[in-house]
Every structure is written in C-alpha cells, then in structure tokens.
C-alpha cells in the first residue's frame, strides 16, 4: 500500500501522534514497512532500543505460521517523536509477545501502535506496555486486537500502565477489541498514576537518595514489560537504555 | 545523642505536637508510651522527616546536628533509623537490592567505601539469622506478601544491616505473636544495646518492655511529654491505665 498523503489525527491509529513531526518525516518515510515471516513452529525474539534526536517511525508487519512465536521488546526513548508500529497476524496456535516501554520528557510524544490479528484458533498474545513521562511528554499505546470468527480459544491480553512524574505529562491508552468468535479470552487493563510517595519515603528513610529511589521505583515499574524476555543481557540493555533516559527527570 | 526542645508540629491544619521536650543520651533505651492520638507516630514521622508533617516550632539536635534541616536520606546517613509501624511494600525491588543500595548510599554519604556484593550478602545473612529470618525471604520483593510479623522482623534485619546509632521504633511490637515478639526484642537488644547507641521505643504494651528493658519511660499525651520515670512507670501504666497515672 502506498500512502498518497500523510495521515491525519482523524485516523484512529494517529490520533495522539505528533503531526508536526510526522510532516517533518514525510510520506516516504512512513511508507517503509519491514516484513517478518516466522515459519510454522519457529520462533523469533527481537529487542530494540529506538529513538534519536530526530523523529522516527518503525513499522513492522509480522506473519506467524502455525505454532510459531514472535517476541518484541522495545525501549522507546527518543528525544523527538518516536513511533513503533507492529502488525501481527497469528495462525493456529501461534504466540505473540510484546513488551514496550516509552520513557522520557522534553514535551516529546513516544508511542506504540499494535494490531494483533488472531486469524485462526488457539493462538495467544500478550502485550505489556509501561509509560514513564515528565516535562510535558506524552506516552501512547494504541492496541488493537482482532479475533476472526472461527478463531476459537484465542487468548489475548493487553496491559498498560502509565507513570507520570509530574503534572503536564500525559499517557493515553486506547485498547480496541474486535471479537467475532465466541469462545475466547481477551483481557485488557489500563491505569495511570504517580510515583508511590510512601515507597519513596521508605527508601529515603533507609538512606537512599531521591534520585536513586526514583530510579529503583521506575526500574521496578518498567520491569514488567521485559519479564517475558529470558535473555538477561538483552533485558539489561533495554532497562539500562530506559534508565539512562530517566537521568535529568524531575525528582 | 538526641535532644528535642519545645517541638511543635502539625499534620495539615491540625497541631499534634505541642511543645514536646525530650532528651535521650547515648546508651539509653527510652520507651514512649501514651494513649491513642497522643502524637507518638507523629513524633516518629517528624524525626524521620516524612513529607506532610510540618514542624512549626522548636528544635531537634541529633549528634550535634540540626536534624530538622536534613533530608530523610541525610538523617539516615547521620545514623538515624526509623522503624515503621506499617512497613511499605515495594513491588519489583528485592530486599537485597534495596538494602545494598541503602547501605552503600549511607556509606558514600559518610565518605566510606561501598561494600562489595559478597561482603554485603554475608552481612545480610548474619543479620537475617539473628532475626531467625530465612535468607530466601531477603531475596524476595521488599515486604511484598510478608505477614505483619515478617514485615516487623524484616525491619529489624534492615536495622541490623544499616547499624544505626539511634533507632526510633514506632510500635515495632504491633502485629507480633509471642515468639516473634521475643525474637524482635532480642534483635533490638543485640543490635542497639551499646554505650554509643540509643533507642526511642514507641509502644503500647509492657510485653516488649519485658524483653527490651528500658532505662527510661516517658508518657506522651496531648502532644507533650507529661511524665518521665524509670521502668516502673510502664508497670504502673499497665496496672492502672493512663487516666489513673496521669491524674
């Protein structure tokens, strides 16, 4: 598909995007889709740290064969608008795992947009997104789950939590479920909150300085997104990138 | 070691401490008893520097420093330990990680070298054993899924590891069964009974004082210390109640 024109806010999947940054990127940049096919019974894990000081859009289309699995873990910590889009189509018994963290300040919008299509029976998917923002920044998770009419025994879950370190930052969660089968499990949850002040004081009362207390609490908060990642070194890389972005955040 | 002079503090608009004066020298275990709402927990929280507690008058001198001018973590580094009445759960952070960060932050603030991972684990194991706590529990998340008694024992393990000069223990005996009370009491004695340390022990009951024999007992009522005596004062309170003793 070629985009003749830039998307607008009226497009559901671009509702909270930074349209100025999108315009700076231009139509051609948006038309780049990476496609990944995972053959039946095969599995794939991909870890990404995305973001730079220019806008970035990463668009990935994944086909999962019967019993195949794909896992994506992403730290989205750009200093400009950064969007990661994943479209997945699951065949029978396939599994899709997504763990994402948006983190940052500086008034920037960072977002994940996923579309998970359970096209056949018995496939499972699990998405965990954590957003940590401050200084007028925004974190978005637009997650669409489609379950086809005959895709019975689908088990799909989506979990979003936002942590706002100060007033003026925001988090948007837009779960969208389209379910045409009747014997399925689809769970979704979204919460947005502030740092646990009781926990922070408890840590400080033991001698932990405020910056370290904040780092430990943020680390614990975003850790959920990477729990399903078994490779410890990769997990550390993703966490370190996220926590590096936390430097300079308001205490 | 700790000198509180004419301390006034409020929570929101409500004055709670109204001219509290108390001196606790090194080597002393000083029990604070008092009816509900007297300001015992407020005293503990003000000493710890908890946000939301506003000091409106008076002073607190701790080891020659103005305690009230310090941030909570600076108070800890200066040697103060606040034992929480309700220890906080911190999901996603293990006790080991938390306490190592805490101890090394304190050591750094005091200009000492950080403790290595191996040395820290050895220290943690010693202190856990003292409180008869399984080391496996220390590898778990801070207080998450701990029973009330386990949380209080974990507090004492923390105190053992951090080795403070002065401990303010706010109803550390609440929620403890008889055996756990003995273990916690023995832990307090072992960690804090020393000529160069001191304890402010806030409690409602004689039971803990049977194990941790206090040198002094003060009654806190209406936001001030209204009476100070020896251990016999606690026994009188237990026998006669606050109304009779304060009358």
A44 falls within a domain: yes
Inter-chain residue contact A198 with B87, CB threshold 8 Å: no
d(C-alpha B233, C-alpha B240), whole Å: 10
For residue A110, the Cα-to-chain-centroid distance in whole angstroms is 9
Inter-chain residue contact B93 with A205, CB threshold 8 Å: no
Inter-chain residue contact A207 with B93, CB threshold 8 Å: no
Quickly list DSSP for B134-198: -HHHHHSEETTT--HHHHHHHHHHHHHHH--SEEEEESTTTT--HHHHHHHHHHHHHHH-STT-E
CB pairs under 8 A between A and B: 78
Residue of B79, B85, B87, B93 to mutate, testing the A interface (most A Cβ within 10 Å of its Cβ):
B93
Question: Helices B148-162 and B117-130 sit at what angle, rounded to 10 degrees?
Answer: 130
Inter-chain residue contact B92 with A206, CB threshold 8 Å: no
Q: Are strands B90-94 and A155-164 parallel, antiparallel or unpaired?
A: unpaired
d(C-alpha A106, C-alpha A245), whole Å: 11
A78 falls within a domain: yes
pLDDT > 90: percent of chain B: 85
* pLDDT reading at B6 higher than 60: yes
Burial class (CB in 10 A: 0-12, 13-18, 19+), A183: exposed
Handedness of CA B225, B229, B231, B232 (dihedral sign): negative
| Chain A residues within 8 A of B158 when measuring between CB atoms | 206
> Among A28, A117, A152, A197, which residue's Cα sits nearest to residue B51?
A197
Token pair listed for B197: 């340390």
Residue B244 has a pLDDT of 86
d(C-alpha B224, C-alpha A199), whole Å: 29
Inter-chain residue contact A207 with B88, CB threshold 8 Å: no
| Chain B residues within 8 A of A196 when measuring between CB atoms | 88, 90
Q: Indicate the residue of A206, A219, A224 with minimum beta-carbon distance to B102.
A: A206
d(C-alpha B106, C-alpha B88), whole Å: 20
| Chain A residues within 8 A of B144 when measuring between CB atoms | none
Inter-chain residue contact B92 with A219, CB threshold 8 Å: yes
Indicate the CATH number for domain B2-246: 3.40.50.300
Tell me how crowded residue A2 is: count the other CB atoms within 10 A of its CB.
Answer: 6
| Chain A residues within 8 A of B101 when measuring between CB atoms | 203, 208, 212, 216
d(C-alpha B224, C-alpha B218), whole Å: 10
Three-class secondary structure of residue B122 per DSSP: helix
d(C-alpha A87, C-alpha A62), whole Å: 6
Inter-chain residue contact A206 with B84, CB threshold 8 Å: no
A214 falls within a domain: yes
| Chain A residues within 8 A of B91 when measuring between CB atoms | 220
User: Which secondary-structure segment (H or E) carries B41?
Assistant: helix B40-48
Inter-chain residue contact B82 with A205, CB threshold 8 Å: yes
* pLDDT reading at B204 higher than 90: no
**Chain A residues within 8 angstroms (CB to CB) of chain B:** 196-199, 201-210, 212-213, 216-217, 219-221, 223-224
**What domain count does chain A have?**
1
Looking at every residue in chain B, the average pLDDT score rounds to: 94
Q: Indicate the residue of A196, A209, A224 with minimum beta-carbon distance to B105.
A: A209
Tens digit of pLDDT at every position of chain A (251 positions): 555 688 988 898 999 999 999 999 988 888 889 999 999 999 999 999 999 999 999 999 999 999 999 999 999 999 999 999 999 999 999 999 999 999 999 999 999 999 999 999 999 999 999 999 999 999 999 999 999 999 999 999 999 999 999 999 999 999 999 999 999 999 999 999 999 999 999 999 999 999 999 999 999 999 999 999 999 999 999 999 999 999 878 77
d(C-alpha A74, C-alpha A51), whole Å: 10
Residues in chain B: 247
How far is B82 from chain A, CA to nearest CA, in Å?
7
How far is B21 from chain A, CA to nearest CA, in Å?
23
Mean pLDDT of all residues in B171-186: 91
d(C-alpha A226, C-alpha A182), whole Å: 31
Q: How far is CA B45 from CA B17, B53, B81, in A?
A: 11, 7, 11
| Chain B residues within 8 A of A221 when measuring between CB atoms | 92
Residue A3 has a pLDDT of 52
Burial class (CB in 10 A: 0-12, 13-18, 19+), A157: middle
Question: Helices A232-246 and A210-223 sit at what angle, rounded to 10 degrees?
Answer: 130
Inter-chain residue contact B73 with A207, CB threshold 8 Å: yes
Neighbouring residues of A54: CB distance < 8 A, sequence distance ≥ 6: A80
- Beta-strand ranges (E) seen in chain A are 34-38, 43-50, 56-64, 69-76, 82-90, 95-104, 109-118, 124-133, 138-147, 155-164, 170-179, 185-193
Residue B164 has a pLDDT of 97
Q: For residue A202, what is the nearest residue in chain B, using CA coordinates?
A: B88
Handedness of CA A189, A191, A195, A200 (dihedral sign): negative
Inter-chain residue contact B93 with A208, CB threshold 8 Å: no
Token pair listed for B66: 């103005």
Token pair listed for B82: 């606040």
| Model ipTM value | 0.94
Q: Indicate the residue of A197, A199, A207 with minimum beta-carbon distance to B90.
A: A199
Token pair listed for A94: 């396939």
A53: containing domain:
12-246
Inter-chain residue contact A217 with B90, CB threshold 8 Å: yes
Residue A34 sits at the vertex; the CA angle it makes with A228 and A235, to the nearest 5 degrees, is 25
Inter-chain residue contact A216 with B84, CB threshold 8 Å: no
- Which pairs from A20-28 meet CB under 8 Å and 24+ separation? A21/A55, A21/A80, A21/A81, A21/A109, A22/A55, A22/A57, A22/A81, A24/A55, A25/A55, A25/A57, A27/A3
A6 falls within a domain: no
């Amino acid at each position: 598909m070629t985009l003749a024109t830039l998307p607008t806010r009226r497009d559901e999947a671009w509702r909270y995007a930074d349209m100025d940054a999108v315009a700076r990127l231009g139509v051609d940049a948006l038309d780049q889709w990476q496609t990944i096919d995972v053959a039946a019974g095969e599995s794939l894990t991909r870890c990404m740290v995305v973001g730079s000081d220019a806008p970035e859009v990463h668009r990935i289309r994944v086909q999962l064969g019967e019993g195949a699995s794909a896992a994506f873990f992403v730290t989205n910590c750009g200093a400009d608008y950064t969007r990661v889009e994943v479209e997945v189509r699951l065949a029978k018994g396939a599994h899709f795992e997504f763990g994402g963290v948006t983190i940052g300040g500086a008034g920037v919008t960072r977002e994940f947009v996923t579309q998970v299509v359970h096209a056949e029976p018995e496939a499972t998917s699990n998405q965990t997104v954590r957003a940590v923002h401050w200084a007028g920044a925004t974190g978005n998770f637009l997650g669409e789950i489609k379950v086809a009419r005959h895709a019975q025994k689908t088990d799909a879950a989506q979990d979003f939590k936002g942590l706002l370190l100060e007033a003026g930052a925001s988090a948007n969660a837009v779960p969208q479920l389209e379910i045409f089968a009747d014997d399925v499990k689809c769970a979704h949850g979204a919460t947005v909150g502030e740092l646990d002040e009781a926990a922070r004081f408890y840590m400080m009362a033991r001698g932990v300085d405020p910056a370290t207390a904040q780092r430990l609490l943020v680390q614990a908060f975003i850790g959920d997104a990477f729990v399903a990642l078994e490779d410890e070194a990769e997990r550390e890389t993703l966490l370190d990138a996220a926590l590096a972005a936390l430097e300079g955040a308001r205490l | 070691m700790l000198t509180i002079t004419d301390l006034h503090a409020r929570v929101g608009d409500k004055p709670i401490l109204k001219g509290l004066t108390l001196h606790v020298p090194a080597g002393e275990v000083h029990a604070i008893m008092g009816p509900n709402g007297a300001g015992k927990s407020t005293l503990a929280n003000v000493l710890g520097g908890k946000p939301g507690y506003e000091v409106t008058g008076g002073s607190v001198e701790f080891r020659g420093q103005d305690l009230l001018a310090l941030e909570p973590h600076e108070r800890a580094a200066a040697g103060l330990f606040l034992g929480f009445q309700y220890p906080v759960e911190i999901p996603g952070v293990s006790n080991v990680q938390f306490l190592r960060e805490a101890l090394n932050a304190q050591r750094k603030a005091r200009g000492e070298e950080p403790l290595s991972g191996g040395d820290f684990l050895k220290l943690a194991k010693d202190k856990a054993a003292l409180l008869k706590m399984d080391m496996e529990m220390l590898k778990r998340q801070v207080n998450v899924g701990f029973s009330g008694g386990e949380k209080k024992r974990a507090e004492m393990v923390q105190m053992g590891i951090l080795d403070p000069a002065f401990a303010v223990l706010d109803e550390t005996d609440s929620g403890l069964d008889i055996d756990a009370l003995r273990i916690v009491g023995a832990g307090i004695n072992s960690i804090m009974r020393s000529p160069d340390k001191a304890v402010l022990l806030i409690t409602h009951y004689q039971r803990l004082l049977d194990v941790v024999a206090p040198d002094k007992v003060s009654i806190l009522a209406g936001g001030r210390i209204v009476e100070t005596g020896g251990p016999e004062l606690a026994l009188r309170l237990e026998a006669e109640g606050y109304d009779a003793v304060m009358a």
